Amino acid sequence: MAAAGSRHENWSSRSAFILAAVGSAVGLGNMWRFPAEAGENGGGAFVLFYIFCVLLIGLPVLLSEVLIGRHGQASAPESVRKVARDSHASEGWSVLASLGVFAAFLILSFYCVVGGWVVYYIAVFAGDLFQTGLTGGAFQGRDPSDIEGLLPGLFGNGSLMVGLNLGFLAVTIFFVARGVSSGIEWVAVYLMPLFFLLFLGITIYGAFTGNFSEAVAYLFTFDFSKLTGEVMLAAVGQAFFSLSLGVAGMMTYGAYASRDTNLGETSGIIAGADTAIALLAGLAIFPIVFAAGLSASVGPGLMFQSLPIAFQAMPLGSLIGLFFFVMVFFAALTSSVSLLEAPTAWMFEKFQMKRPTATLIVGFGAAVLGVLASLSFNEIADFHPLGFIPLFAETNFFDTLDGVTAKLFMPIGAILTCIFVGWVADVRLIDQENGLDGWLHMTWRALVRFVCPVALAVILVVGLTS
Ligand code: PFF
């Protein structure tokens, strides 16, 4: 295995690759974005369409991405270039990965802002535990509106927002600068199992003490009339965000996978684990929220505002709240490292620089955008960078980064990936890499060639024009 700073490294084992890729996939997208999006988009219709998107679009695209990376054994744009070269196709296709690298950079910058909120809540719950001890719920004697006010209170404090954002980004930079095996892999191998354990505990707690049946009915009752173009675009955007697709993240991780890893099987494990955790997150959060009589459709405030109120009603509430946010922190960190790795790998390869230098440069850029994203909740709240586009007319800087990447970059990146893998790349090369046989192989190929690009294009057009 090569040392950090050299051109190419590998995961130390197949399970390290799986943990790192699951770590990239499972993050704020599952714990914060999925329940919020499901709640805002009407519950069951969104959830079932989301599952449909994961199976028919997400999984085939995931395999296409890791396959490109593994063949190229380099940064995402360079890997696409190598597949194109070996297929006698135009190297210009690498633009699909360059767009992805740029999108990963954009996502990183707002992802670390939310990572900062998680750190804030860890501090709040730790402080509460320290003050009130183990007995009773969290925030004893405080009015629920006070607890709900914690997030707007944080939003109103520009310098605290910036500080937390930069703190979270600094931790991410630290691990990525250390390299694949001693940095990123370490985070995944130690933090992901811890995350799973904590997560299981919270879910079981929610199932036994919360309003589980209402949550199940809410998440899994399919009401066809609610399936609008906008809901479909939101669901496909969420599927991509959650699986880290369309932004070169999985291509970059695939490049560190060894030749004997079966990519078809591994992609199935990654997508299965990610989807299971998103659904479990819904089944952990909604019972608690419903039991406390709170609304499901508050959007991004669900995890940060409603859930802490629910923790107030629970025995050991401050301890459970602290556990919960520590777990979300681990999940977020294993994702943010993958977001930083995609542009970093491109940069140190392209400019022949040392990994730590490239990490710092990309990190600095993300810090600048992150500061703007942090301030878009306070100082520059009225700044709508893409105000001239109707879809983003009222959208602040932070939400613009989120909306543009999930609703434009990710689906477009995925459409291009499907066309490239399904129509442009040499079939024999693809067959050697994908690890699929028989009907599975044929199904995957049909999905990548026909179903995914057409479905994505239709959803994109309907979603953007409705
Ligand atoms: N999949 C991550 C999550 O669900 O939180 C977010 C993400 C990570 C998106 C890496 C894209 C990416 F390349």
% residues pLDDT > 90 (the chain): 61
Whole-number Å distance, alpha carbon 85 to ligand 1 midpoint, is: 29
Whole-number Å distance, alpha carbon 341 to ligand 1 midpoint, is: 12
Which has the closest alpha carbon to 183: 391, 377, 7, 337?
337
DSSP track, 146-193: HHHTHHHHHHT-HHHHHHHHHHHHHHHHHHHHH-IIIIIHHHHHHHHH
User: Is residue 365 pLDDT above 70, yes or no?
Assistant: yes
Whole-number Å distance, alpha carbon 9 to ligand 1 midpoint, is: 22
Name the average pLDDT for the chain: 90
3 or 439: which leads in pLDDT: 439
Mean pLDDT calculated for residue range 1-30:
79
Q: Which residues line ligand 1 (CB under 6 A)?
A: 24-25, 27-30, 104, 107, 241-242, 244, 247, 249, 335, 338-339
Q: What is the pLDDT of residue 254?
A: 94
Whole-number Å distance, alpha carbon 278 to ligand 1 midpoint, is: 13
Helix (H) or strand (E) holding 64: helix 59-72
407-432 pLDDT, tens per residue?
A: 889 999 999 999 999 999 999 999 88
Q: What is the pLDDT of residue 5?
A: 40
pLDDT confidence bin for 7, thresholds 50/70/90: low
Both tokens assigned to 133: 């001890």
Whole-number Å distance, alpha carbon 335 to ligand 1 midpoint, is: 5
Q: What is the pLDDT of residue 230?
A: 84
User: Is residue 95 pLDDT above 50, yes or no?
Assistant: yes
Helix (H) or strand (E) holding 416: helix 410-419
Both tokens assigned to 418: 């499907």
Which has the closest alpha carbon to 280: 383, 344, 196, 183?
196
Taking CA atoms only, the protein residue closest to ligand 1 atom 12 is 244
Q: What is the pLDDT of residue 3?
A: 39
Mean pLDDT calculated for residue range 358-385:
94
Q: How far apart are CA 316 and CA 314, in angstroms?
A: 6
Residue 213: CA count within 13 A, CB half-sphere: 0
Beta strand residue intervals within 356-464, DSSP E = none
- Nearest atom of ligand 1 to the alpha carbon of 342: 13
User: Is residue 4 pLDDT above 50, yes or no?
Assistant: no
- Cβ distance 384 to 393 under 8 Å? yes
Site to substitute for ligand 1 among 31, 99, 107, 240, most atoms within 8 A of C-beta: 107
% residues pLDDT > 70 (the chain): 98
Taking CA atoms only, the protein residue closest to ligand 1 atom 11 is 244
316-325 pLDDT, tens per residue?
A: 889 988 988 9
The residue ranges of every structural domain in the chain are 14-465
CATH number for the region 14-465 comes to 1.20.1740.10
User: Is residue 1 pLDDT above 80, yes or no?
Assistant: no
Whole-number Å distance, alpha carbon 277 to ligand 1 midpoint, is: 14
Q: What is the pLDDT of residue 466?
A: 67
